Amino acid sequence: MQILHTIADLRAALPVPQACAFVPTMGNLHEGHLSLVRQAKAHGLPVVASIFVNRLQFAPHEDFDRYPRTLARDAELLQSAGCDIVFAPDEKELYPQPQTFKVVPDAAVADILEGHFRPGFFTGVCTVVMKLFSVVRPKVAVFGKKDYQQLMVIRRMAEQFALPLTIEAGETCRAESGLALSSRNGYLSDAQKAKATELAAALSALADASKSAGADLTALEQQAVASLNGMGWAVDYLTVRRRADLLAPQAGDTALVALGAAKLGNTRLIDNLEF
The response to whether 229 counts as a known ligand-binding position is: no
What is the rounded distance in angstroms from the CA atom of residue 233 to the CA atom of residue 248?
Answer: 24
The response to whether 184 counts as a known ligand-binding position is: yes
The response to whether 55 counts as a known ligand-binding position is: no
Closest of 246, 256, 35 to residue 152, by C-alpha: 246
The response to whether 144 counts as a known ligand-binding position is: yes
The response to whether 78 counts as a known ligand-binding position is: no
The response to whether 30 counts as a known ligand-binding position is: yes
The response to whether 92 counts as a known ligand-binding position is: no
The response to whether 61 counts as a known ligand-binding position is: no
Residue 258 pairs with which residues in a beta bridge?
Answer: 240, 273
Active-site residue (options: 5, 33, 43, 61): 33
The response to whether 182 counts as a known ligand-binding position is: yes
33 in active site:
yes
The response to whether 217 counts as a known ligand-binding position is: no
The response to whether 111 counts as a known ligand-binding position is: no
The response to whether 29 counts as a known ligand-binding position is: yes
What is the rounded distance in angstroms from the CA atom of residue 265 to the CA atom of residue 248?
Answer: 29
Binding residues for ATP: 26-33, 144-147, 181-184
Which residues sit in the known binding site? 26-33, 57, 144-147, 150, 181-184
Binding site residue list for (R)-pantoate: 57, 150
* Residues annotated as part of the active site: 33
Known binding-site residue numbers for beta-alanine: 57
